[in-house]
Structure 1
Amino acid sequence: MDDLSPEIQNHNNRPNRLIILAIGCVVVAFLILLNYAMISKEPTTASSGVVQVGKVAPDFTLQLFSGESLQLSSLRGKGIVVNFWASWCVPCRTEMSALNTIYASTNRNEIEFVGVNFWSMTESETAARNFVAEFSVEYPTGQDRSGNISLDYGVTGIPATFFIDDKGRVLKRWVGALDLDQLESLTSEIIPKN
């Protein structure tokens, strides 16, 4: 029986090859769909996530990379831009220049930015700190070590940016990379109107 001809041996391996090929195709299709979902540039608005547009943004305390801690509610009276990001996220890298530019040009008495490194279990603190250094991020930034901030905000894709008015209400929620014009326009909507 060990003397099977090469034709019979090759015939017996065909079903295994087809199964492996089918599994490979399913995995590739899943990864393509996952990638598309993560980099979608379409804004996600009122009906998505836990945080609803028009509702008060969940308060949180963020341990900043500077060693200080920041409580979101301490910024009441200002417009707030909260941006969720990760160092491995290509769209996050793409929008970082726009975030830095708008932050540098805004009046700190009117607008504040807060960067939240998404789910610390997806990357090390070192990788997050290196990202902040690489892009010279000057606004308060820290890591969501427990994942609770991301959960409270319903963040399922990044970058995710929340525009909060001076009364603490979420005016806009955007999932996907923002360009300079979009960010400037959305930030202007949360400037306090005193």
Structure 2
Amino acid sequence: MRNACVRRDDDRSLRGRLRWGILFALAVVLGVGCQSAPDAVESYVEGRITVRSDIDATGDYSGFRVLVADANGRSIDTLGIATTGTDGRFQMNVAAPERGIYPLMIWGRQGQRRLASTDYVVASGDSATLEVELPLEGRRFFVRSSENAALSAYRNTMAQHRRTLVKRLQTDARDSTTMSRSIRQTSSTLWNLQETFPGAYASQLAATESLSLLSGWNDSLVVARAKEIEPSNPRFVEVAQIARRASSRLHGQAAALDLLDTFAKWAQTNQQRAGVQAARVRAFIDSLQADAALAAAQKLKNEYPNTKWAEWADRATYEVNNLLPGTEAPSLTATTVSGDSLALQALRGRPVVLEYYRPGDDLFARQMATRNALYRATRADSVAFVSISVEPDTLLHEAFTENRSFPGHHVIAPGGIDGPLAKTYNIADVPSRVLIDEEGKMVGRYSGAAFLAFQEDLTRLLDDGS
């Protein structure tokens, strides 16, 4: 899991920052918060902003503002600001609270209008250049440096993987060999970015992404490569979590906990140690060891009270107390892809299956035939299937469902795996299924390949109710 300021979905985080355009305008005009903290991460940007001659033939390019800012809620910190001279040139030192990806924006004269924006990596010692001719008219622009070249390579690789995935979903979605080849190729490309851009922030993100993609396909390689990840990786805790699950699938719970002990020894900060302890809590929850999970969660709160993981421990405790078999299922309200309102309470009187998935996930695709057979073996008024995609990209959902039998209610979760529909049931991995009985009580949670256990419990539930 990445640090608090840079979440896995950088694009979604950026859109959140840009909502405060008017506040940024004030920051441009007033220079709000442009002070460097003693331990700030500092980088440098210089460049030139010009205007197309048919738009402005004066040759005076002064007064344009270049701004790097960090938005946390309604608090805006200006990390760097510069104003172009007559020739359009500018120089800017950028001081960020930590290494990460921040929005870089170009504002018009007097800061009245934001003209363009892009993502910019702030990393110690990085020196970047920026050349822009206005108006951009929809064209993208890039900050050029080693750090930002790594970011482009990372995102281009993921964009190509997405295009391949969409094409696969639109053609032969059951061809697991093709999917495996695509995942392994993308994973290898992402992993090798560390050699092309050694030590770069985005190449470290890419290395973690490569393990996430490979998880479940080659768990032995996942564990081996996870041990090569340095604690300086901003997603070090996520690496520990991925490795724990892979090790558990390979060798069982004891081996997975031993591996977490190793990651705890490698951790360099309290945030990382707390995150590894959280992975231990999750391991106990996944194996339904309620007492061990509660004890581990309390230890997490006691030892790391001032970290974000202390709040996470409260949610884990909530899961143990509210989502284990026999407890009342939390309420859930959603909007289906057809625009209808769907409330869990309205489905009372019959078992409900909540299945969380990601379009294109091979395991879920391979389970579809059995899943549909199970659906057809029940009546629509006897079991309610609610399929919740944790991929907010509607294009992927449309490609996945096109020309495919996929009966039941369908929902796209706002915010994806980090959104409220997934958090309500503390969904961390997909595919995952939640079975709720006709009285609204939790029956079980079934992650990954545990489809047979889910099928048996649903069949037993129906038999008991007949």
> Residue 44 of structure 1 corresponds to which residue in structure 2?
286
* Pairwise CA RMSD: 3.4
Of 26-35 and 60-69, more deviation after overlay is shown by: 26-35
Query: Which of 402, 407, 411 does residue 142 from structure 1 map onto?
Result: 411
1:110 offset after TM fit, Å? Answer: 2.1
Q: Is the 8 A contact 1:45 1:172 kept in 2?
A: no
CA distance in 2, matches of 1:172, 1:183: 8
Task: Give the letter aligned to residue 69 of structure 1.
Answer: S
2:447 paired with 1:175: yes
Percent identical among aligned pairs is: 18
Q: Which residue of 2 aligns with 1:190?
A: 461
Q: Shift in Å at residue 133 of structure 1?
A: 2.6
The residue that corresponds to 1:32 in the other structure is: 211
The C-alpha deviation readout for 1:45-102, integer Å capped at 9, x for no partner, is 5448622222111111221112212111111110111100111322222212221111
Which residue matches 2:347? 75
The answer to whether the 8 Å contact 1:94/1:177 transfers is no
> What is the distance in 1 between the residues matched to 2:208 and 2:397?
30
Distance in 2 between the 1:105 and 1:189 partners? 14
Of 66, 70, 74 in structure 1, the residue corresponding to residue 338 of structure 2 is 66
Question: Helix, strand or coil: the match of 2:446?
Answer: strand
Gaps of 5+ in 2: 1-194, 216-241, 250-284, 294-315
Distance 1:26 1:60 in 2: 33
Q: Distance in 2 between matches of 1:33 and 1:88?
A: 14
Tell me by how many angstroms 1:129 deviates: 2.5
**Which has the higher Rg, Structure 1 or Structure 2?**
2
Distance 1:131 1:29 in 2: 26
Does residue 91 of the first structure (1) align with residue 269 of the second (2)? no
Give distance in 2, aligned partners of 1:61 and 1:44.
Answer: 25
The 1:93/1:151 distance shift into structure 2, 3 A limit, reads: same
Q: For residue 331 of structure 2, what is the amino acid of its counterpart?
A: D
* TM-score (norm. length: structure 1): 0.73
Instruction: List per-residue Cα deviations over 1:167-192 (Å, max 9, x = no partner).
Output: 1111110110344x444312113326
CA apart distance, 1:128: 1.2
Change in CA separation of 1:59 and 1:186 when aligned onto 2, cut-off 3 Å: same
**Aligned-pair distance for 1:113?**
0.8
Match of 1:165 among 422, 431, 437: 437
- Relative to its length, the structure with more helix (as a share) is 2
Equivalent residue number for residue 125 of structure 1:
394
- Matched AA of 1:132: T
The structure with higher relative contact order (CA 8 Å, sep 6+) is 1
Judging changes above 3 Å, is the alpha-carbon distance between structure 1 residues 167 and 91 closer, same or farther for their aligned structure 2 residues? Answer: same
Number of equivalent positions: 174
Structure 1 residue 158: deviation in Å? Answer: 0.3
Shift of 1:33: 6.4
Give the drift of 1:119. Answer: 4.9
Q: TM-score, normalised by structure 2?
A: 0.33
